[in-house]
Amino acid sequence: MIDVSIIIANYNTASFLRDCLRSVHLHTEGLTFEVIVVDDYSSGVYGGMGVIAKEFPQTEIIFNQRNLGYAESNNIGFALATGKYVLLLNPDTLLMDNAIGKLFKFMENHDRVYACGAQLLNRDGSWQVSAGRFPALAQACADAMFLNDIFPRANIPCRAEKKRDCTHKVDYVSGADLFIRRDAAPMLFDSRIFDTYSEDLDFGYRMRDGYAYIVTDAKIVHFGGGSFSGADGVKKRLKLINSGYHRFLVKHHGHLYSLIWRTLMAWHYSVKTAFYLVKQKDRIPFGFNMVKYLLFPKGGR
């Protein structure tokens, strides 16, 4: 058995994918691995995958015959994986300093942990959110009252992960680099309900009896939104994010719970948008779209 199966779901990100694969081979040592790329019906001639296949002949490439979404594409790769561990890796990432080796070592030394992830970094090397907390009414109430803005260092429930410099336990790990113990997860993503966002949130919630960690000495650069470029792409991304939250909350807590949570969060962003009118006018479209898609999320698939 090989040590790690690396699964990359690709959709119109061949240029990112090429650099990602180069970083995998350049910065992975001390273990055996396979790479499985699932192309989710990218546009163009094989979505530019011919160049990828030529440069990385050892990579197994699967071509979906229609667009199935991020969740199902990862499920397809997961079913083909033969490694002791599986790493779900976004194509718009760059590995640094044997990041996979560090995640592998951490899992080998912590057998009660079902998943871990690296510390994600922005392209300029600054800190990026790498994990999250489960959305809950206590958290939404705290955000509606801006308690985390007023008391940023207090241990108050919040949606976003707070910056920490040491390896730490989290509710769930971002799907951008989700390192999983293969035999701990008979089922990966629920692609009947989730498509592109919140599938990692749902997976973490289903696995919440186990432990998930962010390993901060493992570093991965994540460019983010590789499949969503331009103003329309950002708008679509916000719509998908909030739609994913809605589907998650309905699945696990019901429609009323989702409505209350989304209303509280919409109030939070409404007030922030009013602030943007005075201080950060470039953030107004973000705030407006957050409120819009929180109150009127797209329904299930």
Tokens encoding 289? 């779209």
- Main-chain dihedrals φ then ψ at residue 288, nearest 5 degrees: -60, -45
Tokens at residue 130, please?
């790498």
Q: Compute CA distances 145 → 48, 205, 263, 301, whole Å.
A: 48, 26, 13, 33
C-alpha to C-alpha distance for 134 and 205, rounded to whole angstroms: 7
Pairing outcome for strands 177-181 and 113-121: antiparallel
Beta strand 177-181 with 85-89 is: antiparallel
pTM beyond cutoff 0.85: yes
Q: Where does the chain have alpha helices with state H?
A: 14-26, 49-55, 70-80, 99-109, 137-144, 147-150, 199-206, 230-253, 255-278, 284-295
**What digits encode the pLDDT tens for the residues 219-267?**
999 998 655 666 677 788 899 999 999 999 999 999 999 999 999 999 9
From first to last of its 301 residues, what are the pLDDT tens digits of the chain?
Answer: 999 999 999 999 998 999 999 999 999 999 999 999 999 999 865 567 888 999 999 999 999 999 999 999 999 999 999 999 999 999 999 999 999 999 999 999 999 999 999 999 999 999 999 999 999 999 999 999 999 889 988 888 887 788 888 999 999 999 999 999 999 888 899 999 988 889 999 999 999 999 999 999 999 999 986 556 666 777 888 999 999 999 999 999 999 999 999 999 999 999 999 987 877 778 888 888 999 999 999 744 4
Which is nearest to 227 in space by CA: 120, 117, 70?
70
Listed residue (279, 249, 251) closest to 264, CA to CA: 249
**Torsion sign (Cα): 80, 86, 90, 93:** negative
51 in Cβ contact with 37 (< 8 Å): no
Distance from C-alpha of 255 to C-alpha of 293, rounded to nearest angstrom: 16
The torsion angle over the Cα atoms of residues 22, 24, 26 and 29, rounded to 10 degrees, is -160
The angle at the Cα of 191, spanning 110 to 79, to the nearest 5 degrees, equals 55
Instruction: Measure Cα distances from 136 to 37, 158, 190, 203, 212 in Å.
Output: 35, 9, 20, 16, 19
Where in 122-210 does DSSP place strands (E)?
A: 131-132, 168-170, 172-173, 177-181
